[in-house]
Amino acid sequence: MRIGILGAGNVGGALGRVWTGKGHEVMFGVPEARSERTQKTIAALGKAGRAGTNAEAAAFGEILVLTVPWPAARQAIESSGNLAGKVLIDCTNPLAADLKGLTVGLSTSAGEQAAGWARGARVVKAFNTIGAGNLGRTVFAGLTADGFYCGDDGAAKAIAKSLIADAGLNPVDVGPLRNARWLEPLAMLWIDLALNQSWGFDHAFKLLRR
């Protein structure tokens, strides 16, 4: 599959690595002025990876993945061209600047706001509840972490599911896009444990069933 990824930071870079490792082709949407780190991230993918503008990444990708920091999300979406009908996987969390809370939630979510900006896109929320460093290292003491996802379009969710599995996670469909309202606070719990409770990054969630 050809995948456009908006952003080449922790999350975008990790997804690019695991997906090209599974045979997908990736184009990052990144600014013209590229940091050394961004250049390394792109180069590390070899022939399977390239970079362009956001609009070029969106045109390249059969699907588009939003991995920029939340404050940059709206501009990233709006500079990607017409996204009507496009599958857009939203990985963002609306983190407050102090990393102790969310700026959006309760009666809406980053996922729902992103869908409002990406007019006509088929948005799936995914990859937001696990640290980027765990993508591709998803087994914890013998147990595979879950990759929770939600969205309103069944075909888009099926694509997201296969890409979640390609990242080594166990896909768990948690319903409509509105349930991003609960996945984003779950991410905040992960982040708070990592950064504010000094747990580090080696934890992940799993939903047990009988």
| Contacts with a second copy, residue ranges (CB under 8 A) | 101-102, 104-107, 140-141, 143, 145, 174-175, 179, 181-186, 188-189, 192-193, 196-197, 202-210
Q: Which is nearer to a second copy, 12 or 147 (CB)?
A: 147
DSSP string, 98-142: TSSSBSS-SS--HHHHHHHHSTT-EEEE-S-SS-GGGTT--EETT
Tell the smallest beta-carbon distance from residue 209 to a second copy (Å).
Answer: 5
Smallest distance, a second copy to C-beta of residue 95, A: 12
Kindly state the smallest distance separating residue 16's Cβ from a second copy, in Å. Answer: 24
User: Closer CB to a second copy, residue 76 or residue 183?
Assistant: 183
Comparing CB distances to a second copy, the nearer of 32 and 98 is 98
Minimum distance of a second copy from residue 92's CB (angstroms): 16
Q: Which is nearer to a second copy, 79 or 103 (CB)?
A: 103
CB of 169 to a second copy, least distance (A): 11
Interhelix angle 36-43/10-21, rounded to 10 degrees, is 10
Tokens 């963002």 correspond to what residue?
92
User: Is the Cβ of residue 6 or residue 167 nearer to a second copy in the bound state?
Assistant: 167
